Structure 1
């Protein structure tokens, strides 16, 4: 199968379509059209072509015995002109609509994951992935609370200038991102063992509870304060390095 288009418009219309179907060596078909568009209907997905031709190439059968090697004779081509023509794309993909389709856990609804039919033969092969996917959907919204409370907790440690607040926010974002990565790791672990499921909930809920307590009480946490100071020192070192490089470039060259 060879598929080529000259240009695709923003509205989905394709210009200069060329489609060559050579799956059957004894019946090669080439479609070409000026315009084409993929159309979704209740009956399926179709490729609608406008103003084009269909070229059918078949092997010749009138060759003398012994000279016919079975290869197509390209001098024998049937050409059909059309104004509008549609192709059912399912025959090109090889998908059989009559066969039942098994959806992956990520493609199923939450209700389907909660009430998965035990008689489904696909269930036994996807039970671990289904468990991780289901609990991941429940824990994902909790990380919005993690980001909000962690930032508030770090801002509660700030007592001085606006610059220090900026450093606190940067550190808070880094910490919250690290916690989210740990959540992804917990989801992966849940595929291997159900013992990781409680950790999927404990991580965002525990982090949010501690961060909310720090933000409300305003309690000074030495570790948090040290992280903010480390970010300030790192920022100062980067600025000093950039200043030295700038002065070095601006200073005149001496012999």
Structure 2
């Protein structure tokens, strides 16, 4: 590899890492913020929320990498063009391959890395994340131990704990069960305790009563009790069986799904679509690298540099990704869309390679370019007038 190629690779790699880390950081922050409700309503520690949000990152990496690459390449090449570095490279007699090779090498490396993350790391992280969520939603012990609050712990089930004693007992317990539209149940108890064994978790209420109100007639019946036991699993608002989706499975499982898998039995097409998606999604770092080269890999005039090359590259990449996403979603219900998952990245790559070899490039239409140039020129003049208010007086 020539010195100029190492120079380009280093600049692109540094900017790529900066954009990639920033995007992943924003994704991680968004996940933490969306889990705040999960933190407060389920009494989880902040460390648990951090762990849960970090488990989401492997799934975001394959999505963020291609866009970070196209931004880095287009931005670096735009700066090099403005600094006339491309002109110097051409004047030195170097071929276009000197500019293309470092970008393509980086794109290929990122594609293999994306394949590894998507098929080996992300499924493991997603499985752990689902198990954590399932464990929290299926166990209401932490919620029961929150005193002084009246909250919904399930679909149509509300709970209030008046006191949590030092010995672990509960005082002043009140439960409202409105799951049945025909009648409502109200549980009152002076004392209570939570017990668990191999059969599950149980709430043992002492010295209380149950009120059953008929919603049609309005009649209320009251039953007093000395001891009454509730199975907490009856209050769970979600299915106790952990549902594993195709995107959570490893590649080996997608090749040979378990016929007894209940989700596979009802959503067979989703497994087939996910398998083919895994075989094609990792190609997009290469496709986006070619897009960046087709947009920014040539010498541009001073007038063209006023138009954001990065914007055009990202816009083109987004359109390609949106089309691929559209067909991937359609393939979940109709297998006739699966060939498009392969033809989109392959055909676009062939087209872009042809454009590069024939010295063509992606650019805006002439009248769009002129309009954007005039708009940027007006904006630049307004900016100069703002910074020099006394000019001309």
Q: Normalising by the residue count of structure 2, what TM-score does the alignment of the two structures yield?
A: 0.41
The residue number in structure 1 matching 2:286 is 145
Bigger-Rg structure (1/2): 1
Does the CA contact (< 8 Å) of 1:187 and 1:196 recur in 2? yes
The residue number in structure 2 matching 1:64 is none
Does the CA contact (< 8 Å) of 1:157 and 1:218 recur in 2? no
- Structure 1 residues 151-201: Cα deviation after superposition (integer angstroms, max 9, x where no partner): 111223434349628633321221011100101001012123211111111
1:54 aligns with 2:169: yes
The structure with the largest strand share of the pair is: 1
- Structure 1 residues 57-95: Cα deviation after superposition (integer angstroms, max 9, x where no partner): 489xxxxxxxxxx97777xx3488xxxx9979x744657
The residue number in structure 2 matching 1:164 is 305
Does the CA contact (< 8 Å) of 1:167 and 1:228 recur in 2? no
1:240 aligns with 2:378: yes
The residue number in structure 2 matching 1:114 is 255
Does the CA contact (< 8 Å) of 1:158 and 1:165 recur in 2? no
Larger deviation: 119-128 or 196-205?
Answer: 119-128
* Aligned equivalent of 1:220, options 343, 353, 360: 360
How far off is 1:230 after superposition? 3.1
Q: Give structure 2 stretches of 5+ with no counterpart.
A: 1-38, 50-141, 175-184, 202-231
Give, in whole Å, the separation in 2 of the partners of 1:86 and 1:227: 72
Does the CA contact (< 8 Å) of 1:158 and 1:168 recur in 2? no
Q: Cα distance 1:148–1:10, how it changes in 2: closer, same or farther (>3 A)?
A: same
1:105 aligns with 2:105: no
The residue number in structure 2 matching 1:191 is 332
The residue number in structure 2 matching 1:48 is none
Give, in whole Å, the separation in 2 of the partners of 1:135 and 1:189: 13
How far off is 1:100 after superposition? 6.0
Q: Cα distance 1:152–1:107, how it changes in 2: closer, same or farther (>3 A)?
A: same
What's the C-alpha RMSD, in Å, of the aligned pairs? 4.6
Give, in whole Å, the separation in 1 of the partners of 2:297 and 2:186: 80
Does the CA contact (< 8 Å) of 1:29 and 1:54 recur in 2? no
The residue number in structure 2 matching 1:39 is none
The structure with the largest helix share of the pair is: 2
How far off is 1:8 after superposition? 7.5
Give, in whole Å, the separation in 1 of the partners of 2:40 and 2:310: 50
Give, in whole Å, the separation in 2 of the partners of 1:71 and 1:154: 67
Q: Secondary structure at the match of 2:341?
A: helix
- Structure 1 residues 90-118: Cα deviation after superposition (integer angstroms, max 9, x where no partner): 744657xxx86442222222211110133
Give, in whole Å, the separation in 2 of the partners of 1:204 and 1:31: 62
The residue number in structure 1 matching 2:146 is 18
Q: How does 1:167-178 map onto structure 2 within 5 Å?
A: 167-178=308-319
